[in-house]
Amino acid sequence: MTWSQQELLYIGSALLAFAAWFSLRSRSSAPSSAVPSYGPRYLPSFVGSILAAYRLGTDEENFLLDCHTRYGPITYLPWPLCQYLVTDGAAIQSIYNTPSKSLVFSPIRNDMNYTVFNIAPAIFSSRFIEERIFPAHAKGLARGQLATPLERFVTSVEGRVAALGEKVEKAGTSAEIELVDVVNEMVFEGASDALFGTELCSPSHSDLTRAQLREAFIDFDASFPLLASGLAAGLLPASLHRFWPKLDKGVKARGVLIEHFAKWARAGLPGLEEGVTKDIVEIGMNAQVGDEEMGKILLGSFWALQANAPFAAVHHLLYLTQTPLLPSILKEMDEHLSTTSEPYSFATLSSSTTLPLLTSTLYETLRLSASSFSIRLVKDREGYVFTNTPHAIPPIPYHSRIICCATRLLDVEEDEDSAEWDGERFEGEEGRRKALKEVRAFGGGISVCEGRQLAMAKLKAVSIMLLTTFSFSPILSRYNPKETRELRFKGGKKGVSPKTLLGRAGMGVRQVAMKAPYTLEKRSGSA
């Protein structure tokens, strides 16, 4: 699909999703008169809401920057959206620091369980997921539990790197690859092995091959924004899904994935002896939630595992293969491999002092490539009052929805080079502290990503294995100028990248929409 076709498709998607959002999300208290509303003053307020919904999906960064510069740290999206967008870093941190007794996340999460993963309301209304599944998930992704999952990930990626090497050897001195697909599939397969074991698609219990599982996941994930709007949860009858192909494919793919995970769980989780996934299934089975609901719960875990990490790796490789810092990065990697007894262990890769330059480049890539929205519902009847902000921000009324828009360029007036990729920006102890404030790809507070430590270790490992084995060169003649975007590096150098996918504002790492043709050669000195 071309970029212009994506834009046309998004217009329809945005309007239909907007109608759903209005139907399901507009319950809110009266807006605060002290907070500026988005939209032209000379038009009815709902027009501003429609414009906001459209611009958020088609031009997210400029829309948020426009809100930030024109309206200040917080902007109200009027009826029927009835949302407060927070774009100020200090205000977002205030929300992250606020306990759940004042700002709650569970109603948002329960909505998602129902609309996206189709979990029966009786399951989450009983607080089973909130009190049993989520704590087990958090415990299973704690630092002490991640050594074996990372080992499985590394083993999987090593096999795929070896296969790439064979491809280069068969081709002669170099081979052409499509970087987005190669890296995306590599990380997807490795992550599946990490938390779901190596036999998730074994013919003994599965009707899906690994390729079919990934294809179904891609279709399901593509429909995620539409599913989250509630279109398939009663607003739009199933008989009408066929008129909306992306939604129809997504719902069907969801059913395939749920059945697949249910069969795997019923078969006793072949290929998985321990870990967070096994713990979750045992809890569900002991509670007799049923095979189908267990499949839905596992789909939720699988989506959290796969929705962002593969494209984070893609973005990172696109920057690393074109940055002037590459020689310094390779030197650090080579020294790491030659002086570390277990260079790919979780204990090594998760250390705050290991590979400081590579870690900084990863944080910088996430800063520029992610858009993470954290939603809260105001629980205090007196409203929510911001704290520790450098300037006064009006309180938010009771029962209002607040959206923390953690994305780049919102503090551009304070940092003129914020649009440039500076791989050394977060290097050293001071840089790590800075990253905690400026890199919000994993969210924060009560909704922070529990898998962030495993994700960082995986992204470091795949970067090391690829860059120390191969030399990568983008084939610039194969890029369509209309389907590319410019990468800007500190110092003035420019690179090239495919454009990112429309219509996924706030969903984490931006997905790369087009191809990235590269030439691959064996790196001098690599095995």
pLDDT band with cut points at 50, 70 and 90 for residue 415: low
Residue type (1 letter), 89: G
Q: Which residues contact 473 (CB under 8 A, 6 or more apart)?
A: 321, 518, 519, 521
Q: pLDDT tens-digit profile of 149-197? A: 999 999 999 999 999 999 999 999 999 999 999 999 999 999 999 999 9
The span from the CA of 411 to the CA of 416, in Å, is: 9
Residue ranges per structural domain of the chain = 5-119+367-435, 138-366+450-522
- Do residues 427 and 107 lie in contact, with contact meaning Cβ atoms separated by under 8 Å? no
Evaluate the CA torsion angle 424, 325, 487, 317 in order and state its sign: negative
Please tell me whether residue 41 adopts helix, strand or coil conformation.
coil
Q: Is the pLDDT of residue 8 over 60?
A: no
* Measured CA distances, 174 to 171, 276, 470, 496 (Å): 6, 41, 10, 21
pLDDT band with cut points at 50, 70 and 90 for residue 221: very high
HEC assignment per residue over 408-471: CCCCCCCCCCCCCECCCCCCHHHHHHHHHHHCCCCCCHHHCCCCHHHHHHHHHHHHHHHHCCEE
Q: Which residues contact 136 (CB under 8 A, 6 or more apart)?
A: 276, 279, 280, 283
Neighbour tally for 57: CB within 10 Å = 21
Reference 9, options 238, 282, 260, 222; nearest CA is: 222
Domain 138-366+450-522, CATH: 1.10.630.10
The span from the CA of 285 to the CA of 263, in Å, is: 13
Q: Is the pLDDT of residue 330 over 90?
A: yes
Mean pLDDT, rounded, of the chain? 87
pLDDT value at position 473?
A: 96
The span from the CA of 254 to the CA of 290, in Å, is: 17
pLDDT value at position 412?
A: 44
Q: pLDDT tens-digit profile of 430-465? A: 998 888 888 888 888 878 888 999 999 999 999 999
Residue 288 — left, alpha, or beta (φ > 0 → left; ψ -120 to 50 → alpha)? Answer: left
Q: Which residues partner with 370 through β-bridges?
A: 509
**Which residue is it, tokens 């992306």?**
246
Evaluate the CA torsion angle 74, 437, 310, 183 in order and state its sign: positive
H helix or E strand, kind and range, residue 288: none
449 is in an annotated binding site: yes
pLDDT band with cut points at 50, 70 and 90 for residue 290: very high
